[in-house]
Amino acid sequence: MNMTDEIFSLIDAEAARQLDTLMLIPSENYASRAVREAAGSILCNKYSEGYPGRRYYEGNEIIDQIETETTERAKKIFGVPYANVQPYSGSPANSEILFALAVPGSTIMGLKLASGGHLTHGHPNVTFSGKYYRSVQFGLTVDGQIDYEEMREKALLEKPSVIILGTTAHPFMLDWQKAREIADEVGAYLVADISHIAGLIIAGVHPSPVSYAHVIMTTTHKTLRGPRGAMILVTDAGLKKDSELPKKIDMAVIPGMQGGPHNHTTAAIGIALGEAATAEFTAYGKQIVANARALANALKKKGIQLVGGGTQNHLIVMDFASTGEGQGVLVAKAMNAAGLVANFNTVPSDTSPFYPSGVRIGTPAVTTRGMKETEMEQIADWIAQVVNHVKHIHVPTEKKERAAFVQQFAWDVKMDAFLLNIAKEVRALCAQFPVEREV
Ligand code: DSN
């Protein structure tokens, strides 16, 4: 065993980065030591194509028990009759769902990426979901809500076989009932992608789609705080619409799209689900939302504009469109230099996904660290300082100058004394909230 491999020193360096900076990307989190130990275990040595009791390889007696227990935990925590815990991650899981529910070339519907949707919800031209299916997309109302009227009108006109409702950058709660009514009007399957909000649903701070959606997909590493992975659930409503759904999903996962399941991930998902079934996790989910509200209010007091004017969930999209197109890129890079790690994001008025005007932040990971409303005010203060520090700098309007400009900017901010001083203050705060989750 070569523990001196330089990759290990890089892992150490990444651990230090994760401990000394604020993880504000709303889709990231700190998995527990138990989850990480399972994910890094000897289970990665085993091949197990198939499902418990019907594998193509021998020696799966123990693996069968692990997968069965994880599947049962998933069914119980969400209250559904079927779960498949083998999908490698969210994008493969969504491709498997489409593969099971819609023949290639048929019409599907989802929220536009620029409106806070996801690539796999039918983004045109560059994704399987927009190339292998005829994709029709809906967007947001002027006040930043999902435009259910547009969803309905387009559904009636285009007759999709699948409607996907799920978001990656949307600060409002989703109306599953309305989406189901629309799906029923055209006979479509309703698929709920709850990747971002699974932990909030379990904690009871976001409505559950279980009574409305036919199929549910979630990744397991965001608010759920597990390993990188995903699962597909079929609800009672799904079984009522098509009793063959479990078989279709099973077949779409393997042999449809995947080979051997990642057993180490399956075990880690099971452990994360065990952790999520506790009262401590419910309190965690509530605090994520309380922290996001506190952070949003504090940012607004500092004069920062937010998409939708605030948040009802775990994330916030700051909108710098009034400062100039591409400002989100500059703010995100300056924040990173200050130890406030976020990602630039499109806002509804943006035209370029490469130079958007927004920055997406969220509270799942800082809440895992134990931070509360007081720390959110401090974080808002640092963010506002960074925003003001770079507000006079703009991405060039000339398109061919942009990449070099941003590259130079990213270098410059790394040596900016003002930002480095904030990074030092951030490190001091982080030291007060150590992650029990060391390397
Ligand atoms: N990459 C995820 C996110 O950050 O929201 C979505 O797949």
Q: Which two tokens stand for residue 247?
A: 């078989």
Give the whole-angstrom CA distance, residue 120 versus residue 123. Answer: 6
Query: Residue 114 — pLDDT band, cuts 50, 70, 90?
Result: confident
Check whether 240 has a pLDDT greater than 90: yes
**Domains annotated on the chain, with CATH:** 34-276 (3.40.640.10), 287-432 (3.90.1150.10)
CB 27 less than 6 A from any atom of ligand 1: yes
How many residues does this entry show for the chain? 439
Answer yes or no: 73 catalytic.
no
pLDDT of residue 412: 98
Q: What is the mean pLDDT of residues 71-82?
A: 98
Residue of the nearest CA to atom 1 in ligand 1? 27
Answer yes or no: 49 catalytic.
yes
How does DSSP assign 373-404, residue by residue? HHHHHHHHHHHHHHHHHHTT----SSHHHHHH
Query: Residue 352 — pLDDT band, cuts 50, 70, 90?
Result: confident
Q: Is 118 labelled as part of a ligand binding site?
A: yes
C-beta separation of 26 from 362 below 8 A: yes
Q: What is the mean pLDDT of residues 123-128?
A: 92
pLDDT of residue 359: 97
Query: Residue 439 — pLDDT band, cuts 50, 70, 90?
Result: very low
Q: What is the mean pLDDT of residues 274-282?
A: 98
pLDDT in tens, 193-226: 999 999 999 999 999 999 999 999 999 999 999 9
β-strand 82-84 against 230-234: which pairing, if any? Answer: antiparallel
Using a pLDDT cut of 70, give the percent of the chain over it: 98
**Rounded mean pLDDT of the chain?**
96
pLDDT of residue 395: 96
CB 167 less than 6 A from any atom of ligand 1: no
pLDDT of residue 377: 98
Residue of the nearest CA to atom 5 in ligand 1? 168
Q: Which two tokens stand for residue 129?
A: 């979901």
Q: What is the mean pLDDT of residues 26-42?
A: 97
Query: Residue 387 — pLDDT band, cuts 50, 70, 90?
Result: very high
Check whether 1 has a pLDDT greater than 60: no
Name, in order, each residue with C-beta under 8 angstroms of 343's C-beta and a sequence gap of 6 or more: 25, 332, 359, 360
pLDDT of residue 417: 98
Among 195, 217, 343, 361, the mutation site with the greatest number of ligand 1 atoms within 8 A of its Cβ is 195
